[in-house]
Structure 1
Amino acid sequence: ADSGQERTPEFNEAVATLLHCVNAQKDQFILQNIANLLWAMAKLTDYGQERTPEFNEAVAALLPRVSAQKDQFIPQQIANLLWAMAKLVDNGQEQTPELNEVVAALLPCVNTQKDQFIPQHIANLLWSMAKLVNNVQEQIPGLNEAVAALLPRVYAQKANFKPQEIANLLWATAKLGELVELDVVTSIFKSLVHKISENPQSSQQNIFMSLWGVMVCCARLSLVSKANKNNVLEKHLDDLLTRLENPPPDNEKDQRVIAMAASWLGRPFPIVPHYRATLSEPQTFFRDQLQSRLPCLKIEEEKSLNLLPPVDLFLPEHNMVIEIQGPFHYVNGDFKTRNGSTLLKIALLQKAGFEVIEIPVKQRWNHDLMKPFIDQIKKRTNSH
């Protein structure tokens, strides 16, 4: 399928037959077979493989074998297996306790074998960890340590990454948000991004991933200090955006990324991106409490400002945005370490002149937890 093989009925039949064999012979596979099978199955989901009962059974049959033999995998197998877990989850595979166990078993191996990973492994591993963070809202044991072990290797190997690997690295280090120290992110971007922005052969996908990553890096710099503009990175952002604008993409997701980049650079963008409004329960609950305490306060919900993604609550008379931050705004479920998407949205809103108040929502809310935030808003809006 990776080479463009069409998914004919015969092809699907062959896959179904092989999956049945995996179930039947699960105890006879050697380590390399297990790693290769899970990698291949994850890859198939990229090409529309349905998660049939046979498919889910085959995955479930192999996972315990990985956990049981975790100390025997070589670096390439560790990288392939973690990539497979991230890809399966990203394509909708249920996060069973067995799948979580495999991730928790493999991450410490990244630490112990960190010096043996080649550039391709390093890029794939960081991409996998960022994808897992993106899809898993609770704590992933060993994740922070594995990321910390790999980051120095990125810098050490900076001359040896291919364009696709660079795009994956830029996207991943940006996505991991505050888990990666700002000076580390900045030095990685400064040493790698020019290989995408100055390479006329860079693919659209690589340019998009890099553009988004550079935006997050610029956003983080601006949040730390209003004066801390990085002209080198803004120049790359400008170059990448110019390459993607003409012609404007049809894809809604790509249009949203370009609109954000245009907003950041203060450039016009001819398309108004389409955003879906999604009202969360904590958002509605907070709005009701705020309105009952401040009945004259004008509150708008899910408002898209400056072509940017909709904000939870907007107080138009005070130019104030209130963002209710659930677990998916943070890295590794800690409610402290914000991810790249969250940091970018806040920085874009601040850059556009809005005041932003973030309210972390850990559990089902009660009035006591909300009171300090409502008091803060009341004070800021001088409402009585």
Structure 2
Amino acid sequence: MDRGGAGVSWQCTTSGNDNKKPDDRTDCSKSGRCCHGTVRQLDAPLAYIRESNQFYAASDACSADHPPRHSIKPVHGFKALITPEKIDYMMKISTHYGDHYDGKKHSQFACSIKQYTSASKRLLNHSEQRQLIPLLHDFKATPGWTWRSLTTTFHSFTSAGVFTSHKYTEEWVKKTQAALLSTLLDQIILNCNQTLEARDLDVHGINNLLWSVAKLVDNGLELEKTPKLKEAVAALLIHVKAKAKSPEESEHFIPQHISILLWSVAKLVDNGLEPDKATMLREVVAALLPHVKAKAKSKEERDHFIPQHISILLWALAKLVDKGVEKTPKLKGTVAALLPHVKTTAESKEEKEHFNTQGIANQLWAFAKLVDYGLELEKIPKLKEVVAALLPHVKTKAESKQEKDHFTPQQIANQLWALAKLVEKGLELESTPKLKEAVAALLPHVKTKAVSKAEKDHFNTQATANLMWALAKLVENGLELEKTAKLKEALAALLHHVKAKAEAKEEKGHFNTQATANLLWAVAKLVENGLELEKTAQLKEALAALLRHVKA
């Protein structure tokens, strides 16, 4: 059931990079002083990440920044930020000092663009990009730039969406974006390849750069078609490993940094980082895991493990396991150390507002995936307690009118698949009333999304197969079909999608042997448990459409 049943892929939902102390340096990627103004860290597109991607990509963007905690210095108009005079002044300084120029003015300019998007709570739109990009035609990073100027500029531009392509982005804009990205990557690679004595690389900068690269890839930049990006990743990973293994650097590996680094590695792997890098990736992950465990067990650090960090960490570990990168014995100990934090935050009244729909879906999916890959549920009693603590949040969010727009088909599929997988692996449905209540609360969303014309394109073959498999597995394990009217309604709505996808020429490539087998298994299991075939027209039609794929 790996693809149809267990194959829920996804996007991390956020990564955090604030909780930093105010700093008088020009690093706008930290909360604190930025371009002489106090800024907050914002989940640049976040929510656990707001792009057109999927967590098969669970849509949203993981940001190296975090929920706002500081006031933002007002920015009066985008045009005021990008006047030709400001750009000319910046370029003249760069030309005058040549390779001795430290890049400070450029990083302050990039920081002001990020500050503007943070205040606007969105990325640059198409119109703003068209105004900005021509002015960046001669924007060059030179060897004299400090590490801080370089990391701040790259992180700020990525966070603001300077490199993001819109649907109607013109070719000349794309070329300028590519040239700007290239000049920054050249200097990142150059700095990373310097001797250890010469470099001034710090954990925060490496963290921001790796997040930025992962974000670009997550937003559609293909690693295989961008050699410099792959080279930059390889160079950065060497330093992540070195820093993680250095006793002197251990205090710099705060929960936020570790969660972003692991999210970035997992996201890169999820988006095509080649197997030839697998050895280094495993070494990097192995070097980071002791920090996760140490921080999770530290009494001093326990208040710093917020739901977002935990969700990112668990998602990243599960994704690395899913992709075959993480296979170390340290994994079980690391997950076990995180479990008390999940339970504590899930049961905390103060933290309840921080449990968003995507975060809950991510955590449940992660537990289910880890269990599916050998983390034995019956031998970790805390895992049952943690899942039980999360279930009321599933129900509360599912029944909340304010949250109804936040339930995407993917999140619903992820949650139901996860609950079904945990049941399959030993979480006894009949002895867990909270589980029945959580499933019952999710079912109306399945029906609503399935019958919605606006959502029809979001019900891809995998999401539909996962939902059908999950509902069949839950029925098999005690959710009594004949006593659950909502389940029959949800299934009737889903069967329409099964038929539509099975008959669509565009979808035929997605109906592989496994997806078809999973759907047929689900239909058979549902019939076996009370769904009467002869009385369900949608089921007959869906079955007929599936059988054509079996024949083909």
- How far apart are the structure 2 equivalents of 1:108 and 1:208? 41
- How far apart are the structure 1 equivalents of 2:315 and 2:136? 28
Q: How far off is 1:60 after superposition?
A: 4.7
Percent identity of equivalent pairs: 13
8 Å CA contact 2:315, 2:366 repeated in 1: no
Where 2:510 maps in the other structure, the secondary structure is strand
Q: How far off is 1:19 after superposition?
A: 1.5
Pick aligned residue for 1:245 from 391, 395, 406: 395
8 Å CA contact 1:23, 1:58 repeated in 2: yes
- How far apart are the structure 2 equivalents of 1:54 and 1:235? 54
8 Å CA contact 2:150, 2:188 repeated in 1: yes
Q: How far off is 1:225 after superposition?
A: 5.4
Give the aligned residue type for 1:181: E
- The aligned counterpart of 1:257 is 411
Q: How far off is 1:111 after superposition?
A: 7.8
Q: Which has the larger radius of gyration?
A: 2
Residue 155 (structure 1) aligned with residue 289 (structure 2): yes
Flag the 1:211–1:144 CA change in 2: closer, same or farther, 3 A: farther
- The aligned counterpart of 1:34 is 106
Residue 11 (structure 1) aligned with residue 84 (structure 2): no
Q: Give the alignment of 1:171-190 within 5 angstroms.
A: 171=315, 178=323, 180-183=325-328, 189-190=335-336
- The aligned counterpart of 1:146 is 236
- How far apart are the structure 2 equivalents of 1:52 and 1:32? 22
- The aligned counterpart of 1:271 is 445
TM-score computed with the length of structure 1 as normaliser: 0.57
CA-to-aligned-CA distance 1:235-257 (integer Å, 9 cap, x gap): 54553453353143233356742
Flag the 1:16–1:85 CA change in 2: closer, same or farther, 3 A: closer
- How far apart are the structure 1 equivalents of 2:520 and 2:235? 36
Q: Give the alignment of 1:186-335 within 5 angstroms.
A: 189-192=335-338, 194-199=340-345, 200=348, 201-202=350-351, 204=353, 210-218=359-367, 220-221=369-370, 224=373, 231=380, 232=382, 235-248=385-398, 249-253=403-407, 256-266=410-420, 267=435, 268=439, 269=442, 270-272=444-446, 274=449, 276-278=455-457, 303=464, 306=467, 323=510
8 Å CA contact 2:364, 2:387 repeated in 1: yes
Where 1:56 maps in the other structure, the secondary structure is helix
CA-to-aligned-CA distance 1:141-174 (integer Å, 9 cap, x gap): 1325534653456435432665355555555565
- How far apart are the structure 2 equivalents of 1:34 and 1:138? 26
- How far apart are the structure 1 equivalents of 2:394 and 2:463? 28
- The aligned counterpart of 2:146 is 73
Pick aligned residue for 1:97 from 178, 195, 217: 178
Pick aligned residue for 2:133 from 35, 50, 56: 56
8 Å CA contact 1:211, 1:240 repeated in 2: yes
Flag the 1:301–1:87 CA change in 2: closer, same or farther, 3 A: closer
Flag the 1:92–1:196 CA change in 2: closer, same or farther, 3 A: farther
- The aligned counterpart of 1:369 is none
- How far apart are the structure 1 equivalents of 2:193 and 2:520? 41
8 Å CA contact 1:193, 1:210 repeated in 2: no
Residue 106 (structure 1) aligned with residue 188 (structure 2): yes
Where 2:79 maps in the other structure, the secondary structure is helix
Q: How far off is 1:271 after superposition?
A: 1.9
Structure 1 spans left out of the alignment, 5+ residues? 284-299, 326-345, 356-376
Where 1:19 maps in the other structure, the secondary structure is coil
Residue 25 (structure 1) aligned with residue 89 (structure 2): yes
Flag the 1:115–1:175 CA change in 2: closer, same or farther, 3 A: farther
8 Å CA contact 2:417, 2:467 repeated in 1: yes
Where 1:263 maps in the other structure, the secondary structure is helix
Where 2:230 maps in the other structure, the secondary structure is coil
- How far apart are the structure 2 equivalents of 1:145 and 1:229? 41
Where 1:246 maps in the other structure, the secondary structure is helix
Give the aligned residue type for 1:24: D
CA-to-aligned-CA distance 1:24-80 (integer Å, 9 cap, x gap): 223226423323432442343342454243333455554x22xx33x7433x55554
Flag the 1:234–1:350 CA change in 2: closer, same or farther, 3 A: farther
Where 1:274 maps in the other structure, the secondary structure is helix
- How far apart are the structure 1 equivalents of 2:81 and 2:344? 45
- How far apart are the structure 2 equivalents of 1:167 and 1:223? 18
Give the aligned residue type for 1:11: H
Residue 128 (structure 1) aligned with residue 212 (structure 2): yes
Where 2:222 maps in the other structure, the secondary structure is coil
- RMSD between aligned residues: 5.2
- How far apart are the structure 2 equivalents of 1:324 and 1:145? 39
Give the aligned residue type for 2:178: P
8 Å CA contact 2:163, 2:181 repeated in 1: no
Give the aligned residue type for 1:155: L
Give the aligned residue type for 1:83: H
8 Å CA contact 2:103, 2:150 repeated in 1: no
Q: How many residues align?
A: 308
